[in-house]
A and B are shown apart, each in its own frame.
Chain A
Amino acid sequence: MPKTSMTGLVLKRLASGLVTLLVVSVMVFVGTEILPGDVAEAILGQQATPEAVQTLRDKLGLDRPAAVRYVEWLWNFAHGDLGQSLVSGREISDLIGVRLHNSMFLALTAAVIAIPLSVGLGLLAAFFEGRLADKGITASTLIFVSTPDFLIGYLLLLWGAVKLGWFPALSRLSSGMSIMDQLHAIAMPCLTLTLVVSSHTMRLTRTAILSVMSQPYIEMAELKGVSRERIIIRHAFPNALSPVLNIVLLTLAYLIVGVVVVEAVFNYSGMGRLMIDAVSKRDMPLVQACGLIFATVYVLLNLTADILSILTNPRRRHPK
């Protein structure tokens, strides 16, 4: 097998990422079009007069073929024109602006806490494999994996906000707030998200480290009499870096889904709630816009994870 150049591999992965993005955009578009009638009938309901349906159809340009509308939609989207909401008639980009910022603020704060915490605990569990600390961490993982996100949210809400009164029950951000006030306001949704993703990340980190530590070259280093610290720093860490980086990005991707439920629990004004509202009001352009944004972020995170793994893991440069 000839050695493939690293740039070549990265470029190849970037190209396939672009294709994935296109496929995803087609799916978002088609997903909202698979109903038996069309969007106009769905919005107006059974009792609508044919004239009303036709007017709406004209307004939305639904008489043109789907492929034409798809290309136009994607073209406008790429230029920042997300169209208008069907329900409120407002520009979707205006609706999304602040909410996207709010969701990012929440998700990133949770990530800053969750990632070091869970990677650290995962390392701890791996080093004490089979001992009490490991068993405790593994057992708590099982419980958290089996617990729906909204249960963690409501338990925190009941204890942290209502019974103890430490944090506000409604997480509202307003423009005049200082950064500390903002952090205080999102403390509980942030903690919920942290708990939701940590168990996942912890489990993955533990497995990744254990698989590196069970390699023959680690045993060899031990037999040579290399100290444990040196084995971990010089031999195990560089090889665990790639899986751990991957796990970090997967955690970020997982946060995207977590945000939707957690925002609903705490009435937090973010992208998740915007999308849920759009879905229950069947506001198709808004659903499409939110769906495409969520999907794009997710695909990009996965793409970054893959590229980082190519860069940090020499073995991937020699595909079998």
Chain B
Amino acid sequence: MITIIRNFEIGAKIGLGIVVMFLLAVFLGPLLSPYSEVEIVGNVWESPNAKHWLGTDNVGRDLMTRILTGGRMTVIISLMATWGAFLIGCPLGIAAAVVGGWFELMVARAVDALMAFPGLILALIVLSAIGTSIPTLILMMSVLASTIVFRLTRAVAADIVAMDYIEVARLRGENMRWFLVKEILPNVAPTLITEFGLRFVYAAILISSLSFLGIGIQPPHADLGGMVKENALAVTFGRSAPILPAVALSFLAIGVNLVVDGVLRHNAKLDRRK
């Protein structure tokens, strides 16, 4: 792990720095802040000043504290949705590659149907029916993203299943569970880790977009996208209150993407050396 980080290019190191700083800020920052994210401590849309480093929001709460707690919400929801997607997609993908037959066909057709139209539109349709509570949002995002995880896992696992050492393991009569955990999972892991990063960014932007549109996370909870919506009017007065939460989100996304790019390039280099 440490050697991988040492071998990173400069871009990936910067990315890692951004991600670590972002996580430290959103998880420790709110504890150090003198304000709470719900208390009204000033006038509406104050400009940045010594007391409020980023100014105040649409009802006079400290914007910096809000962005930190909102960022924490975005990170937690996106992580849970991404975990969910992998919990659904990985086992199905590996199973499809190993079992094959009608099982593979059925799951693959269902995934094709889910991917036949844009995720945001499908999300809107489903949310109009089941409502927007945090558990339903996470569940829906997990199912949507699991389609891509499924396809990837199946493709990678299918390559591995065709290799000689798997044949040997089968002939040796290893049981299915051992076979999956010890032989296949370690070999699909590197691909899945980078995919986790990409899915995480996608989830963070999707949940923020939904909240921005007013059908994601509902008040009193708030995430970065919701804050953009709350403060949207400030733009017409030339203030940057709605832009700052979006910039925070963008930072997180850029950081993760840089790390993913670095890992991908690192893996590609290893492949070439073989």
Contacts and interface: CB of A to CB of B under 8 A. Distances in A.
Interface of A: 20, 23-24, 27-28, 31-35, 42, 142-143, 145-151, 154-155, 157-158, 162-163, 169, 253, 256-257, 260-261, 264-265, 275-276, 278-280, 282, 284, 287-288, 291, 294-295, 298-299
Contacts of A24: 113, 116-117
A34 B122 CA distance: 13
A85 B274 CA distance: 62
21 contacts: A24-B117, A27-B122, A31-B122, A35-B129, A35-B130, A35-B131, A146-B254, A150-B209, A150-B246, A151-B243, A154-B243, A158-B243, A162-B236, A260-B213, A275-B121, A280-B215, A282-B128, A284-B128, A287-B128, A295-B118, A298-B121
A147 B228 contact: no
B157 interface: no
B238 interface: yes
Given A23-B116, A257-B118, A299-B117, A162 B235 contact: yes
A32 B258 CA distance: 38
Contacts of A253: 118
B26 interface: no
Interface residues of B, number: 45
Contact of B254 (A28, A142, A276, A278): A142
Q: Is the interface of A mostly helix, strand, loop or mixed?
A: helix
B254 to A, nearest CB: 4
Main secondary structure of the interface of B (DSSP, over half): helix
B257 interface: yes
A280 B129 CA distance: 10
A96 to B, nearest CB: 15
B252 to A, nearest CB: 8
A75 to B, nearest CB: 20
Contact of A287 (B125, B214, B228, B261): B125
B130 A279 contact: no
B208 interface: yes
Contacts of A157: 235
Interface in B163-218: 201, 205, 208-209, 212-215
